[in-house]
Structure 1
Amino acid sequence: MSHSRAAVLLDLPGLNALVSRLAKRKRVLGPVERDGAVRYEDVTSVDDLPKGWVSEQAGGHYRLAKSGEALFGYVIGPDSWKRFLHPPRQRIWQAEAGAEGAPPVIHPEPPPDKPMAFLGVRGCELAAIAVQDRVFMQGPYRDPHYAARRASAFIVAVNCDRAVSTCFCPSMGTGPAAGAGHDICLTEIEEGRTFLAEAGSGKGAELLALLPSRPAREENLAAATALTERAEAQIARRIDTKDLPGLLQSNPEHPRWDDVARRCLNCANCTMVCPTCFCTETVETSSLDGKSAARESRWASCFTLDFTHVHGGGPLRHSPKSRYRQWMTHKLDTWHDQFGQSGCTGCGRCITWCPVGIDITEEVAAIRREP
């Protein structure tokens, strides 16, 4: 973990000033405690942040508990920033009937009125945004809606100072320290009181210069590093990525696929909470009077039976075994072929939010271990 020598310290008023200045130009989204979980919603001041809330997570288990005064002690919840950059429902265009004899008038969906700022982005989430950047903007098919949101987004990252049992970001090289891709990075070195702030971009440096702050000293930098190292020391879950694509390619009929299929509910929770899954379906609707219509993309999941439905032939993946195998091998194997990197960032959401606690790291280990 490296620190800029120009790092500064923000007290609580300084952090509040950061939120206020961003809110003048952008829609600020950050962590809030809502209905027993930490969600990403609109934030107007530091009073909205989940002070003192920490999460307990395991396979199929998530609970919040009160502990200390930290504003960013919760690790991650069910939301990911995908929800805002690649929303669950995205209207592509709408059309209105033209005058008699004239063709319909098609209106492409405009970009959002107000750009967004993300507060509290973790290392695994930064990596996930970078993965989706590759999917939506760096291939032959560019998504203009994603690109517009992404171009105007301002990212305030937060280094993790604690972990939960489902984290495995070190295995994927994505955390717990935040990597590249942020405008400002915070480390909460005194719970609820003092934050080390570092600029990750020119825009970030300009904003930090406007905030009430004081220079960081070497002991502050060392304290921030120690907190991130503490989080990494708490992470026991691992995934061996050595020749992982080759391992999965050579085991399409491994008995472990049948084992996991007997447990999998095909509920699609893992794909919905995953910060990198990007599959959608296209839906067209029309008004009852026939005067207007719209086309919309909606999140879809490879776990649903109709995802691979082919006209006249039904679904291509009939069994739970084939659907789970598709998801895991795409995430860890063929994603490399498509995008040159893994589709997993080690956030552990798919483990926490699986109702039966299926663990992707355990499944990989079992395939390595068993003949």
Structure 2
Amino acid sequence: MHKGQFVLERSGLEQLLQALKAEGYLTLGPTVREGAIVYDEIERLEDLPIGYTDHQEGGTYRLRRRSDEALFGYNVGPHSWKRFLHPPLLRLFRAHRVNGKLELEGEAQPIPKYAFLGVRACELRAIEVQDRVFLGGPYQDPHYKARREQVFLLALNCTQAGNTCFCTSMNSGPKAQRGFDLALTEVLENGQHYFVGQVGSERGARLLGQVAHRPAQQSEWSQAEALVAQAARSMGRQLDTEGLKEMLYHNLEHPRWEEVAARCLSCGNCTQVCPTCFCTSVEDHTDLAGQMAERTRRWDSCFTADFSYLHGGSVRVSTRARYRQWLTHKLATWQDQFGSLGCVGCGRCITWCPVGIDLTEEVAAMRASPSGQPWFTPPAGGAHV
């Protein structure tokens, strides 16, 4: 037996799902909808993308049938767990005028207890990054905090890598290292279908005690480890992070920015699918009668002209400036702000870019021919581009 590891049969996973529901969790996981694998409510195992995988390239995403009945035999789709912890649209408050007095309402819906099923290692790292953004500083986001405190995380180690994945370069996968309640590796071999698991928290151990499981044999654990190792060896992309921040700071005027700007549509797709991007804008609305006012927060993007608007106009008026802002923030100034990279190597920005712009390719091109000069010297305390 392999100490500390367990095996969950397919029927045990169903029991786990139902145990979460019995404890009041809203169970969310991958499911097939409109030609993609997205995250939505899961009532039973049959809602999972059974027998599906995905093929991804720059600007390309296609679902394909597998030759087996794997439940988690895909990589990642357009959704990330960010949409539940940091919603795309959030009502901050609503005020009504009643008999000359204002009455305030908070969020439109009560905050559920979420259980995330099938969280990949890169996505766990993305949640960790957003925890640092929203909870790590002197001012915490109460909306994020209220959601994050109640989440149950069931991680799924990757046994295959996509063509746009580069999590090994970011030290964020394919195996979940921390931040989960339970972590599973799906194994299909010789007609057997089971999950080798690891407990990551007391909450996970307590839930596991409610479902049928058994200790893992050494051969079963070794097989699971071999599958994860194979995924690590088959990454579709690589990103050299050695000295990355300094390289970008010293190439802010590199001609490559113009080349990528000629292709970029400034559509913001990369920021919408990114599991770590967090930019928002706040909007106020009133009704025609003047009896109601509402303030909402919605996702925004550094690729929109209005996002950098100050009195008199936008700061970043060109596509070149906006793409440079996004890439240098993600891979350089993010480190000054939060002490880590803002990229986890999930590859979504490559897959869902309509013209297939690849940030790993852009960085490699600048490394190959460094020729720019910084238009400022980054201060010791950090900088924003």
Tell me the TM-score normalized by structure 2.
0.93
Q: Secondary structure at the match of 2:276?
A: coil
**Match of residue 150 from structure 2:** 152
**Match of residue 90 from structure 1:** 90
Residues 323-357 of structure 1, C-alpha deviation per residue, up to 9 Å, x if partnerless?
Answer: 00000000000001110000000000000000111
Q: Secondary structure at the match of 2:14?
A: helix
**Match of residue 199 from structure 1:** 199
**Stretch moving more, 85-94 or 106-115:** 106-115
Structure 1 residues 199 and 165: CA distance shift in structure 2, 3 A: same
Give percent identity, aligned residues only.
51
Deviation, structure 1 residue 149 = 0.3
| 8 A contact 2:2–2:217 mirrored in 1 | no
Deviation, structure 1 residue 7 = 1.7
1:46 to 2:45 alignment: yes
Deviation, structure 1 residue 285 = 1.1
Deviation, structure 1 residue 49 = 0.5
Structure 1 residues 170 and 207: CA distance shift in structure 2, 3 A: same
1:169 to 2:167 alignment: yes
**Match of residue 350 from structure 2:** 351
| 8 A contact 1:184–1:200 mirrored in 2 | yes
**Match of residue 218 from structure 2:** 218
**Match of residue 18 from structure 1:** 16
Residues 74-93 of structure 1, C-alpha deviation per residue, up to 9 Å, x if partnerless?
Answer: 11000000010001001111
**Match of residue 310 from structure 1:** 310
CA RMSD of aligned residues (A): 1.4
Q: May I ask how many residue pairs the two structures share in their alignment?
A: 366
1:288 to 2:288 alignment: yes
| 8 A contact 2:245–2:332 mirrored in 1 | yes
1:362 to 2:361 alignment: yes
Q: Secondary structure at the match of 2:342?
A: coil
Q: Secondary structure at the match of 1:170?
A: coil
Match of 2:130 among 115, 126, 132: 132
| 8 A contact 1:111–1:149 mirrored in 2 | no
Q: Secondary structure at the match of 1:350?
A: helix
**Match of residue 325 from structure 2:** 326
Counterpart Cα distance in 1 of 2:164 and 2:366: 20
Q: Secondary structure at the match of 1:193?
A: strand
Counterpart Cα distance in 2 of 1:113 and 1:342: 30
Supply the AA of the counterpart residue of 1:170. Answer: T
| 8 A contact 1:4–1:198 mirrored in 2 | no
Counterpart Cα distance in 2 of 1:210 and 1:197: 15
**Match of residue 242 from structure 2:** 242
**Match of residue 263 from structure 1:** 263
Counterpart Cα distance in 1 of 2:119 and 2:242: 28
Counterpart Cα distance in 2 of 1:110 and 1:156: 28
**Match of residue 141 from structure 1:** 139
**Stretch moving more, 18-27 or 273-282:** 18-27
Supply the AA of the counterpart residue of 1:319. Answer: S
Deviation, structure 1 residue 111 = 7.3
Deviation, structure 1 residue 155 = 0.3
Counterpart Cα distance in 1 of 2:307 and 2:341: 22
| 8 A contact 1:112–1:149 mirrored in 2 | no
| 8 A contact 1:79–1:273 mirrored in 2 | yes
Residues 12-64 of structure 1, C-alpha deviation per residue, up to 9 Å, x if partnerless?
Answer: 11000011111121100000011110000000111101011010000000001
| 8 A contact 2:111–2:147 mirrored in 1 | no
1:120 to 2:118 alignment: yes
Deviation, structure 1 residue 4 = 7.4
Counterpart Cα distance in 1 of 2:148 and 2:361: 34
Q: Secondary structure at the match of 1:267?
A: coil
Counterpart Cα distance in 1 of 2:177 and 2:39: 21
Q: Secondary structure at the match of 1:97?
A: strand
Counterpart Cα distance in 1 of 2:321 and 2:57: 26
